[in-house]
C-alpha cells in the first residue's frame, strides 16, 4: 500500500474517531438494539425450602475450578449465599417474611455494567447476548472493576488459587494470581446450547434461566406473573438477575 503522509494521517484520524464513536455509543444505552439478553430469575422461597443446600455453589465451583480459599479476606466466589439484608442493602426487610431466607447472589450481567465501563483493557465486556464476559488473558489485575461493581460480584485472586482447588476440572482452565474473576453465566455451556450449571443442579428448580428479551420465554412468563425485585435498581445498572418474592 502506498500512502502519502497526509493520507495516512487522515485515515488514522478518521478511524480513531470512528472507533471512539462506536465505543461511546456502546458505553451508553447499548441494550436498545439487543435481541438476546440472558437473565436469571431466583425464586427465593423455593430456594429456601432447603436452607442447607449448596448444590448450585458446589457445581459451579467444580465446573469452573473456583478455589475454596479458607481466608475469608481472600475468598473467591462466583455464586454465593447471603442474607437479604446484604443482598438488598438499603432495603428494609426487618418485618418481611423473607427477612431470614437465604438469597443466592451472582453477577447481575447488567444492561449498563459499570465494570465494563471502567475496565481499561476490555478484559471484561458485554457480549451480544448480554453476558458480561471475562477475558482472563487480558486482565491486568488493576481491580478497577471491583471498585466499580456495586454488588461485590467480582473476586480477585490475591494468591495462587491452585492449592485451594481440590479436584480440578480439566475442561476449564484455572486462574492464576493477579486476575479478577466472576460468574459468566457459563459461557462455555451456552455456546453448546446448555443452561448454566447452577440452573441444572438446583434440586428445587429455583433458578430459571432464559432470554429476557423474548416475551415468550419461561423466565419472562415467570416475571410477568410474579412480583420481583432487582438489586439496587436506583443505580441505573439494569441488573438481569431477578428475585421472585
The binding site for ligand HEC (CB under 6 A) comprises 136-137, 173, 175-176, 179, 184, 187-188
* 39: β partners: 210
Q: What residue has cell string 455451556? A: 189
Nearest residue (CB) to other proteins, 190 versus 222: 190
**Minimum distance, C-beta of residue 135 to ligand HEC, in the bound complex (Å):** 8
Spatial separation of the C-alpha atoms in residues 26 and 245, rounded to whole Å: 33
Dist CA 243 CA 245 (whole Å) = 6
Q: In angstroms, what is the minimal distance from the CB of 60 to ligand HEC? A: 14
Closest contact distance (angstroms) between CB of 32 and ligand HEC is: 26
Q: Which is nearer to other proteins, 30 or 217 (CB)?
A: 30
CB 227 within 8 A of CB 244: yes
- Is the Cβ of residue 56 or residue 139 nearer to ligand HEC in the bound state? 139
Angstrom distances, CA of residue 28 to CA of 112, 114, 174, 197, 240 = 8, 11, 33, 31, 17
Measured distance CA(172)–CA(58) in Å, rounded: 15
Give the nearest distance from C-beta 208 to other proteins in angstroms: 22
238 binds, among other proteins, ligand HEC, none (CB under 5 to 8 A by kind): none
From the list other proteins, ligand HEC, none, partner contacted by residue 162 (C-beta under 5 to 8 A by kind): other proteins
Amino acid at each position: 500500500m502506498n500512502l502519502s503522509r497526509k493520507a495516512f494521517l487522515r485515515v488514522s484520524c478518521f478511524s480513531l474517531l470512528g472507533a471512539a464513536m462506536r465505543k461511546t455509543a456502546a458505553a451508553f444505552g447499548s441494550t436498545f438494539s439487543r435481541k438476546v439478553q440472558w437473565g436469571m430469575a431466583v425464586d427465593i422461597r423455593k430456594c429456601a425450602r432447603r436452607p442447607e443446600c449448596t448444590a448450585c455453589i458446589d457445581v459451579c465451583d467444580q465446573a469452573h475450578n473456583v478455589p475454596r480459599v479458607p481466608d475469608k479476606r481472600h475468598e473467591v466466589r462466583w455464586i454465593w449465599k447471603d442474607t437479604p439484608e446484604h443482598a438488598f442493602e438499603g432495603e428494609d426487610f426487618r418485618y418481611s417474611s423473607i427477612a431470614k431466607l437465604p438469597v443466592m447472589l451472582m453477577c447481575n450481567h447488567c444492561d449498563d455494567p459499570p465494570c465494563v465501563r471502567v475496565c481499561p483493557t476490555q478484559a471484561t465486556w458485554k457480549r451480544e447476548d448480554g453476558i458480561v464476559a471475562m477475558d482472563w488473558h487480558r486482565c491486568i489485575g488493576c481491580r478497577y472493576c471491583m471498585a466499580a461493581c456495586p454488588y461485590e460480584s467480582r473476586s480477585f485472586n490475591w494468591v495462587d488459587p491452585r492449592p485451594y482447588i481440590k479436584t480440578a476440572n480439566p475442561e476449564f482452565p484455572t486462574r492464576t494470581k493477579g486476575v479478577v474473576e466472576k460468574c459468566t453465566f457459563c459461557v462455555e455451556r451456552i455456546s453448546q446450547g446448555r443452561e448454566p450449571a447452577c440452573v441444572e443442579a438446583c434440586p428445587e428448580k429455583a433458578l430459571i434461566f432464559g432470554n429476557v428479551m423474548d416475551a415468550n420465554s419461561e423466565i419472562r412468563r415467570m416475571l410477568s406473573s410474579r412480583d420481583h425485585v432487582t438489586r439496587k435498581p436506583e443505580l441505573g445498572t439494569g441488573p438481569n438477575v431477578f428475585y421472585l418474592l
